[in-house]
Amino acid sequence: MTRTVTAVTALRAALATRKSGSIGMVPTMGALHDGHLALVKEARKDADTVVVSIFVNPTQFAPTEDFGAYPRNLEQDLAKLAGQADIVFTPSAKEMYPEGFATAVTVGGPALGLESDFRPHFFGGVATVVAKLLIAASPNLAVFGEKDYQQLLVVRQLVRDLALPVEIIAAPTLREADGLALSSRNAYLSPDERRIAGKLNMILKNAIGAARTSGDLRAAEGAAIEALWEAGFSHVDYVAIRDAATLDHITALERPARILAAAKIGKTRLIDNMAL
């Protein structure tokens, strides 16, 4: 039976009634798709009790962003999680940020650059809410998607620096047949925009090929940016080949590397990344 709780105290009480075993957590913003459900299955492999949180976190959105429009389908989400999760934690904004809330978690290192250059508020919001969720549920493990690769590294940094006793597990990106990474924001795309969105992953694959053959990482990034404009993207925030462990700048493929990209089609901003 899947139980839904909305208060941190109720979450802790529900977890305290378990007889034994490990806890796995999957933090989400809801509008669940198969990518989210793959994370839940991953948590289930190693945990006896699986907690999924659904919370559209206001502090990780700028006032100009899509917090109000972000898809919310709690009823459908709960139906998808029935039998998959043991506990679904669906706090209100007031529960997570009660009146007078005055704490923020700031992460440096992998949080600097890339997403932060375009969404400076983003990782502060993510780090604060993830810290709060992990402290609330005290899971033994928590699963995050490689889809949000920089976020995954930020969460690892946060957990290491605060010595939170939780293992962070990375799950691979689930994609549509044409390579588009599943995302709740794909719901914003018109049929025409959806066709353009499907080209992002192929363009990154081509950039990986070019980087490998020429060894000129900047030229490969530049060609990918050009290809995105040509494919019909309306704005390219970045295409960057970076050190896969630190996201540091690199000039040669000597260590494991990652290509990361963010681009807009109309109002919809898409991100993707791949290993080199």
CB of 139 to ligand AMP, least distance (A): 14
Report CA 115 to chain centroid distance, whole Å: 12
Least Å from the CB of residue 169 to ligand AMP: 10
H/E stretch holding 274 reads: strand 268-275
Report d(CA 233, CA 227) in Å as an integer.
Answer: 9
C-alpha 250/C-alpha 242 separation (Å) is 6
Question: In the complex with ligand AMP, which residue's Cβ is closer, 174 or 220?
Answer: 174
State which residue, 26 or 220, has the beta carbon closest to ligand AMP. 26
- The smaller minimum CB distance to ligand AMP, of residues 32 and 250, is found at 32
Residues that bind ligand AMP (CB under 6 A): 28-29, 35-36, 38-39, 144-145, 147-148, 171, 173-174, 181-184
If the CB atoms of residues 29 and 202 are measured against ligand AMP, the closer one turns out to be: 29
Q: How far is the CB of 174 from ligand AMP (least distance, A)?
A: 4
Let me know if 36 is a catalytic residue.
yes
Active-site annotation holder among 33, 36, 121, 249: 36
Q: Specify the residue, 28 or 84, whose C-beta has the smaller distance to ligand AMP.
A: 28
How far apart CA 276 and CA 28 sit, in angstroms, is 27
Cβ-count burial 50-79 (b if 16+ within 10 Å, e if not): bbbbbbbbebbbeeeeeeeebbeeeeebbe
Print the SS3 string covering 50-97: EEEEECCCHHHCCCCCCCCCCCCCHHHHHHHHCCCCCEEECCCHHHHC
Report the amino acid identity of residue 265: I
Report the nearest approach of ligand AMP to the CB of residue 171 (Å).
Answer: 5
CB of 192 to ligand AMP, least distance (A): 22
Residues annotated as catalytic are 36
